[in-house]
Amino acid sequence: MSVIKIKKVSKRILIICEGWTEYNYAKALKGSLEREKQKGIQIEIPKPDGKTNIKELFRKAKKHIKESKKDGNKYDLVWIFFDNDKQELKEKLSKLVK
């Protein structure tokens, strides 16, 4: 009887960060995972200039999602890390998610 080895494939996750604080937080979370799971996580900062708004982050996420589907290697999850102290969060998010 032969044994078939099944390799677990990590989920493909994209984390888009507003700035360096969020990037460092995402990097620390990634680093806390098993090495095998870390391979599927990509972290990105579109413009680390402190002027990025939520709408730009969502636009960037949609662009990455579209490109990944086109390439046949879609993301399983896309997360956006941002600081909501500066923005009216509920109102802006409700318009962007629709």
Which class for 41: exposed (0-12), middle (13-18), buried (19 or more C-beta within 10 A)?
A: buried
pTM, full prediction: 0.76
Do 22 and 81 contact (CB within 8 A), yes or no?
A: yes
- Residue range 77-94, pLDDT digits in tens: 999 998 776 556 656 666
User: Whole-angstrom Cα distance, residue 6 to residue 22?
Assistant: 35
Residue 91 CA neighbour count, 13 Å, CB half = 2
* Alpha-helical segments (H) within the chain: 20-31, 35-38, 54-70, 89-97
- Residue range 33-80, pLDDT digits in tens: 998 889 999 999 987 666 677 888 888 999 999 999 999 999 999 999
Pair of tokens at residue 23: 């990037």
